[in-house]
Amino acid sequence: MENLPKEEQSAASFTLPSKKPDRLKFFLFLGLGLVILVLIGEGIYYFKLKEKKKRSEVTIPTSLLPTPSEPVRQPVVAIEPNMAELPAGLTLALPVEREYLEKALLDKAYSQVLSFFLPTQTPIKAVFSGRITKVLHDQKPFPNDLAFEEIRLKREDKEFWVSYVIVGEVLVQEGQELREGEVLAKAGEGKLKFRSGTNLSFWLHNKDNQMVKLSKEMFK
């Protein structure tokens, strides 16, 4: 009697179909898809880069370009809260006629500046005897305001100096000696916006360059 194949032998001789070809196809398609995605991404990047280059090459007329705004400088004399008091008994001569003093503006916050509304050609005078230390022309700290002149007069004893900010005509020069009451300028047309529409502003400083508190009563 012939020997029949054993059960183990029959199972071993039966082989399942291989799955390697299917896996290979899957990886090939996956790789091909990745390559396509990379190519599409590079195409989009190149297109955007080309468009950006075109835009950068467009010539814009100079008249349409924005002009840089002029930096706003601070006023010639800034507000200084720590002001000095005028020594008792010390008075100043009037820089203008008394009628203009009555209408002058005195800063309420710190009282460090006195501003006048003056008719054209009104004489502006020295409040004490001394020397002209500085004459500044065409000062314009604010682009949208008028230019003005500044005159600095130091008292004979060098204890005080005064700054006149004027819209008008300067009649003195640096180094010139003046007596109290002498005319140093004449008021002109125009008003300073940063000084509430006035054409003369007046600051007083001590020898330490500290502002002195002003009042209308200090003028004799």
Q: Which residues of 89-114 are buried (b: 16+ CB within 10 A; e: fewer)?
A: eeebeebbeeebeeebeeeeeeebbb
Is the pTM here over 0.75, yes or no? no
For residue range 110-128, what is the model confidence (pLDDT) as tens digits? 678 888 888 989 999 999 9
- How far apart, in whole angstroms, are the C-alpha atoms of residue 163 and residue 146? 18
At residue 63, the pLDDT reads 43
For residue range 4-32, what is the model confidence (pLDDT) as tens digits? 444 444 444 444 455 556 677 777 777 77
Write the burial class of residue 33 (CB in 10 Å: 0-12 exposed, 13-18 middle, 19+ buried). Answer: exposed
- How far apart, in whole angstroms, are the C-alpha atoms of residue 32 and residue 20? 18
At residue 68, the pLDDT reads 47
Minimum mean pLDDT among 161-170, 186-195, 207-216: which range? 186-195
Q: What is the DSSP string of 95-111?
A: SS-HHHHHT-EE-TTT-
**Tokens in use for 204?**
């007083």
For the chain, what percentages of helix, strand and coil (3-state, to nearest 5) are there?
A: 25, 25, 50
- How far apart, in whole angstroms, are the C-alpha atoms of residue 47 and residue 43? 6
At residue 179, the pLDDT reads 97
At residue 110, the pLDDT reads 62
N- to C-terminal Cα separation, the chain:
154
What does CATH list as the number for 98-218? 2.70.70.10
| 25 compared with 91, residue with greater pLDDT | 91
* pLDDT grade for 71, boundaries at 50, 70 and 90: very low
